Amino acid sequence: MNAPPLLRSRIRVRLPHVPASAWIGIAILAFWIVLATFPSLLAGHREADVLTNESFASPGAAGLLGGDYLGRDLLSRLVHATRRTLGLAVLITLLGFVAGVFLGFLAATARRWIGVLLSSINDVLLAFPSLILALIAIASLGTSLSVLIFTVAIIEATRVFRVARALGMDITAMDYVEVARARGEGTWWIMRREMLPNAIPPLAAEFGVRFTYSILFISALGFLGLGVQPPDADWGVMVRENLQGLLFGSIAPLVPAAAIASVTIAVNLLVDAQLRRAMSDIRYGLS
C-alpha cells in the first residue's frame, strides 16, 4: 500500500508591488539628490563666476546650457541652486512636520482646554493667506535664511497640525488607547507608543505633500525677491532674474522652472503610490 503523499504547507508571501509611476518618481528624485550631493559632477564653475559679457549666451559659449542674464554658466548655477533649494525644503518640512505632529497629537490627547487653545491659534494662522503671512513676517524681520526657514516652517506646521489632530482624535477613540490610559500611561507615552506608529502611513503621504509645497513656497518667495538673495540662488531666484530671456528665445528661465516641475511631479507620484499601497493593505487586511 502506497504511503500518502507529504502534505506541504504553502506560505503565502505578499511582496510589496511598486508601480511604474513610483519608479519614475524615485528616478527623478534620485537624479536631483545625487546632483545636490555631488555638485562637481556637472558644475564646472562657481555659481557667481561670470564667463562672458554676452547676456543669455548660447550653449557652448558659457557652458552646456548656455549663460544667464549676466553671462554666468547656467548649468553650474542650476546645480548649486539645487542643493540650496532641496536643502531648505527638507529642513523646513522637517521643522514644520515635527511641530505640527507634536502639537496636533497634543491637542487630541491632552485636556480639552489645551486642545481648544491650540486649535484656535492654528485657526487664526490659517485665516491669513499663507503668502501674505510670509510677506508680513519677512518684511518685518528681514530676508535672512533663518527668518525664511522658520516663517515657512510655521506656515507648513499649521497644515500638518490639522491632519495630525484628526488622526490623533481617531486613534484616541480606539480600545488600546483606553487600555493604556487605564494602565496609567501618560500623554507623552501614548503619543509616542500608540498614536505615532498607527499614524505613520498617512503622515508619510502628508510629508511628501508638505515637501512639495515647501519647494513651491521657497521658489515663490525667491521669485518675489524675498527668499534667497543674490549672488546666491535657488530655483525661484533663477526664474525671476532670467525672465527677460524669454524675449530673446533663451531657455534660461525655463530650466529652473522645469526643475521645480520635475520634483513636484516626482513627489506626487510617490505620494500617490504610497496612498494606493495603504489602501490595498487595508483591503487585504479586511479580506
Question: pLDDT grade, residue 8 (50/70/90)?
Answer: very low
Q: Which CATH architecture has domain 64-286?
A: Orthogonal Bundle (1.10)
Mean pLDDT of the chain: 85
Using alpha carbons, list the distances in angstroms from residue 197 to 7, 162, 164, 171, 185. Answer: 39, 18, 12, 10, 16
256 Cβ partners below 8 Å, 6+ apart? 78, 81, 235, 236, 238, 239, 242
Say if residues 264 and 215 touch (Cβ distance below 8 Å).
yes
DSSP state string for 111-147: -HHHHHHHHHHHHHHHHS-HHHHHHHHHHHH-S-HHH
| pLDDT tens-digit readout, 209-253 | 899 999 999 999 888 888 888 888 889 999 999 998 888 888 899
Q: Per-domain residue ranges for the chain?
A: 64-286
Q: Is the pLDDT of residue 156 over 90?
A: yes
- Residue with the larger pLDDT of the pair 103 and 14: 103
Question: pLDDT grade, residue 94 (50/70/90)?
Answer: very high
Instruction: List the grid coordinates of 107.
Output: 491637542
CB burial of 34-56 (b: ≥16 within 10 Å; e: otherwise) equals ebbeebeebbebebeeebeeebb
Specify the range with the lowest mean pLDDT, choosing from 20-29, 148-157, 173-182: 173-182
Instruction: List the grid coordinates of 281.
Output: 493593505
